């Protein structure tokens, strides 16, 4: 099992593409990322190789053109990142993190309702 290590920024940028597109070739990832920022094809390739070694992505070798996909869902990775942030900046208090996120960020009416529903669930009461 992977000890769920926190992806670096560059790794996260690649994961974002894979989450959005699903399994992709190096070129496909490269194309998407090129729109944001100029970078070399081999840079993306190398990153994917490293991420493969770390277990962040897996590759399908069957075709000549390899296809990469994430080994963790976006949700799982988000959890890892949240845990890390919680630990390093919020003294482990998820509540203060949530409140901090709510206090300064705008959320739509529907979203707030969604969160409220979740709260009810968390509190274990039916409505």
* Chain residues that interact with DNA, rule: CB under 7 A: 8-11, 25-27, 38-43, 45-47, 49-50, 64-66
127 touches, from a copy of itself, DNA, none (C-beta below 5 to 8 Å by class): none
* Residue 95 Cα to chain centre, angstroms: 21
Comparison of 42 and 78: residue with beta carbon closer to DNA: 42
DSSP H or E run through 108: none
Which of the choices a copy of itself, DNA, none does residue 101 contact, using the CB cut-off of 5 to 8 A by kind? a copy of itself
**68 backbone dihedrals φ, ψ, rounded to 5°:** -110, 145
22 touches, from DNA, a copy of itself, none (C-beta below 5 to 8 Å by class): none
CA neighbor of 3 nearest in space, from 86, 58, 80, 73? 80
Using CB under 8 A, which of the segments 23-31, 42-50, 58-66, 100-108 binds a copy of itself? 100-108
CB 17 within 8 A of CB 2: no
């Amino acid at each position: 099992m992977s000890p769920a290590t926190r992806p670096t920024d560059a790794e996260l940028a690649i994961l974002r593409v894979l989450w959005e597109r699903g399994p992709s070739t190096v070129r496909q990832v490269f194309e998407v990322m090129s729109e944001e920022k100029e970078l070399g094809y081999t840079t993306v390739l190398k990153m994917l190789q490293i991420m493969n070694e770390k277990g962040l992505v897996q590759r399908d070798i069957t075709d000549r053109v390899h296809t990469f996909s994430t080994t963790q869902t976006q949700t799982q990775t988000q959890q890892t990142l949240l845990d890390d942030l919680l630990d390093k900046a919020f003294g482990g208090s998820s509540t203060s993190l949530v409140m901090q996120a709510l206090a300064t960020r705008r959320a739509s009416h529907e979203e707030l309702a969604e969160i409220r529903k979740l709260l009810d669930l968390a509190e274990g009461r039916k409505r």
